[in-house]
Chains A and B, each alone.
Chain A
Amino acid sequence: MKKTAGTQEYIRPQDSAFDKKTDNLVSLFFLVLIILAFLPVLLVIMAAFSSEESVAVYGYRFIPKEFSLEAFRYMFSSGSTLPSSFMNSVFITAVGTLLGLAVMCPCSYALSRKEFRHRSALMIFLMIPMLFSGGLVSSYMVNTQILHLRNSYWALILPGLCSTWYLMLLRNYFITSVPDSLIESAKLDGASAYGTFLRVVLPICRPVVMTVAVFQIFAYWNSWYPALLYIDTNHTEKYPLQYVLVNIERSIQAMSRDAQYLSGMTGYTAPSVTLRMAMVVIAIAPIMILFPFFRKFLKTGLTVGAVKG
């Protein structure tokens, strides 16, 4: 077992190789880079706050010709599907994250204990799916024909519940951060394995549990592929926010493709130009708001990609 490099403590080099001038130049380079990287997101946000007419005339602009909250006002008015799809996303994210933690944490605790006899067998059991998977077709067939998940919320929650990466991250943290003596003394006090885990181990390991929670929150909030596969058009009330956005995007495409046929038709119901950008902003907003708070947990979790088993 090799341990990952100690990344908990973020040590900054005091003695940089750059002199003042080079440092300023490199800083300028990064400044340009972050502006470039942020531009696409900024464009969407600005478009959402533009008025419909100004977008129609001047297009999407970084500085809107005319500010307007019309799109947001419309979105929260009655008859809009946004509030219900937003709540669907919140529900899926909350249930998926909590259930996933409830399944993964006890398992990885058992994996971290020497007392557990089958732990090397279980490790191999968990590693095989990382190397080889049945692929989309067979999991689709299993989920729809054997587990009958089609058109249910479970189809959006269950397939992403566990991941061997997170199990290993949790296990490694349990091994390195929980002193054996603590568990021994809990045992001497007569605590069962469950009690030790709940009252002793979990409180100590809150950082890593939060890290996995953060990654799962982002993953569930951003997921749309399961909805594309498992929720059909007769069940639009179950669409998560991201999938509603997919559908709007398709209708834009259909509209531009069939423009000549549709030109004479009225009553086309695709959301207007700014409205769809406003919905994107609603989908980004929770991530942007939570992002700074999550930052310290991300540092623990970024080693997820570099965990060695």
Chain B
Amino acid sequence: MLKQNRKESRQLGIMTLPAVIWYCLFSYLPLFGVLFAFKDFTPVPGRSLVYNLLVKSPWAGLRNFSYLFRNPQSRAVLANTLFYNIIFLIAGIVIPVFLAVLLAEIHRKFFSGLVQMALVLPYFLSWVIVGYCVYGFLATDQGQINMLLRAAGKEAVQWYQSPQYWRLILILVGIWKSCGYSLIIYLCAITAIDRTLYEGAVIDGAGFAQRVRYITLPQLQPTIATIFILSIGSLLSSDFGLFYQVPMDSGALQEVTQTLDVYVYKALMQQANFSYSSAAAFLQSAVGCILLISSNLIIRRIDRESSMI
């Protein structure tokens, strides 16, 4: 029997092999690339990457990181990333929870389904498509908004050259795209709440506001905590598509649209500056990891049930 078990364990092990190989190649092999952040990478053409990185490039210590914090451009990029992410973190919880609480009480089931479908649709569109949707409104000559402005006798706006509007635009677009998905997650959690809790509350004379305050929100707490922990783990990461594709990579908008992911991409692809961009990428990963683990620990201290791990 023991031999039987060993055989089965081996067969199961073989079944995991393709996935293990994939993880080694695409997750673990790049982990060694964090060395880029601590080296002055100067590639010698014709030699292998490993040779160039390990032998040829001198150690830079933390120089790449201190550059990131001293350079005014990358500091602005860091500030942008934090600004957008903190807003998305708050709005990404408050708005969907608010909508889910209302939607859960709607009488017409069919209509509720329709609302969920319509609101979640943008989640499944690519950023490229979203970029075109926004372009339909903001295009200088044919855009819907400039058409309306002209019809009202006002001056048309060169949207893709006017940075002052873009913080608001990007926030709206970001919420539009992701709100429906979180809404459905919260709605699922609400419908899983034991209905007898509400029945008891009704007998005790609780109104809608009190039911939400004392039953729905406390019951939603673990779901909210999970989503909070996950989003705080990506505090320095951003949706590349939102900040690169939606503003159409317009140079005039850079000061308000450039986040760390766009900065890393540009440093890598346009300036071939491996060391700075990988220092920025390392920062993203490290800060995310620390925040994820520590917020999980704090939440676990407060309420064991709500923590993730």
Residues of chain A having any CB pair with chain B under 8 Å? 2, 5-7, 10-13, 15-18, 23, 26-27, 29-30, 33-34, 37-38, 40-41, 43-44, 47, 55-56, 58-62, 102-104, 106-107, 109-111, 113, 115-118, 122, 125-126, 128-129, 131-143, 145-147, 158-159, 161-162, 167, 187, 192-194, 197, 218, 221-225, 229, 242-243, 245-246, 249-250, 252-253, 256, 273, 276-277, 280, 283-284, 287-288, 291-292, 295, 298-299, 302-303, 305-306, 308-309
- Structural contact, A135 and B284, CB atoms closer than 8 A: yes
16 contacts between A and B (CB under 8 A): A5-B188, A16-B106, A27-B108, A30-B102, A37-B119, A37-B122, A62-B144, A106-B18, A106-B19, A131-B293, A134-B32, A137-B264, A137-B274, A224-B127, A299-B184, A306-B188
Nearest-CB residue, chain A, relative to B176: A37
> Which A residue's beta carbon lies closest to that of B27?
A129
Q: Is the CB of A253 within 8 A of B137?
A: no
Contact B124 A222 (CB under 8 A): yes
Q: Secondary structure of the A side of the interface? A: helix
Inter-chain CA distance A187–B12, complex, in Å, is 13
Contacting pair B102 A161 (CB below 8 A): no
Judge whether A145 and B49 touch: CB under 8 Å.
yes
* Residue B139, interface by CB 8 Å: yes
- Report the separation of the CA atoms of residues A112 and B73 in the bound assembly, to the nearest whole angstrom: 48
Cβ of A118: which chain B residues have Cβ within 8 Å of it?
A: 9, 13
Q: Which residues of B contact A26 (CB under 8 A)?
A: 102, 105-106
A146 to B33 alpha-carbon distance, docked (Å): 12
| B18 in contact with A253 (CB, 8 Å) | no
B residues at A contact (CB < 8 Å)? 5, 8-9, 11-13, 15-16, 18-20, 22-23, 25-34, 36, 48-50, 99, 102-109, 111-112, 114-115, 117-122, 124-137, 139-144, 146-147, 160, 176, 180-182, 184-185, 188-189, 191-192, 195, 198-199, 202, 207-208, 211, 223, 226-227, 230, 240-241, 245, 248-250, 261, 264-265, 268-269, 274, 277-278, 281-282, 284-286, 289, 292-293, 305, 308-309
Contact B33 A135 (CB under 8 A): yes
Selected from A44, A135, A145, A302, the residue in CB contact (under 8 A) with B181 is A302
Nearest Cβ on chain A to B203's Cβ, whole angstroms: 11
In the bound complex, residues from chain B placing their C-beta under 8 Å from that of A229 are 269
Which residue of A2, A102, A146, A242 is within 8 Å of B18 (Cβ)? A102
Known: A133-B285, A299-B188. 20 other contacts (CB 8 A): A11-B195, A12-B109, A18-B107, A40-B122, A110-B12, A118-B13, A131-B293, A133-B31, A134-B29, A136-B277, A137-B264, A137-B274, A139-B30, A142-B49, A145-B48, A197-B15, A225-B240, A225-B241, A250-B248, A291-B117
Instruction: Say yes or no: A135 contacts B278, CB within 8 Å.
Output: yes
B102 touches A122 (CB 8 A): no
A145 to chain B, nearest CB (A): 4
Contacts of B102 in A (CB 8 A): 26, 29-30
**Beta-carbon nearest neighbor of A307 in chain B:** B226
A44 CA to B107 CA in the complex, in Å? 33
Whether the pair B12, A222 counts as a contact (CB closer than 8 A) is no
Chain A residues, CB < 8 A from B249: 250, 253
Query: Do A284 and B129 touch (CB < 8 A)?
Result: yes
On whether A249 and B128 interact (CB within 8 A), knowing A58-B147, A138-B36, the answer reads yes
Q: How far is the CA of A60 from the CA of B133 in the complex (A)?
A: 11
Q: Which of A44, A109, A137, A273 has the most CB of B within 10 A?
A: A137
B269 to chain A minimum Cβ distance, whole angstroms, is: 7
B residues near A18, Cβ cutoff 8 Å: 105-107, 208
Cα A288 to Cα B134 in complex, Å, equals 19
* B residues in contact with A128, CB < 8 Å: 27
Summarize B's interface: helix, strand, loop or mixed: helix
A291 near B121: Cβ-Cβ < 8 Å: yes
* Cα-based distance from A225 to B243 in the complex (angstroms): 13
Which B residues lie within 8 Å of A252 (CB)? 135, 248
Give CA–CA (A308, B189) in the complex, Å: 14
* CB neighbours of B117 from chain A (8 A): 291-292, 295
- A10–B189 alpha-carbon span in the complex (Å): 10
Separation of A283 and B18 alpha carbons in the complex (Å):
32
How many angstroms between the C-alpha atoms of A287 and B142 in the bound complex?
Answer: 26
Beyond A134-B33, A306-B223, whether A242 also contacts B126 by CB under 8 A is: yes
Knowing A133-B27, A242-B128 are in contact, say whether A106-B15 is a contact too (CB < 8 A): yes
Contact of A116 among B13, B114, B160, B293 (CB under 8 A): B13
Report if A283-B23 is in contact (Cβ < 8 Å); known contacts: A56-B142, A135-B278, A137-B277. Answer: no
Determine which residue in B13, B15, B25 has the highest number of CB atoms from chain A within 10 A of its CB, and name it.
B15
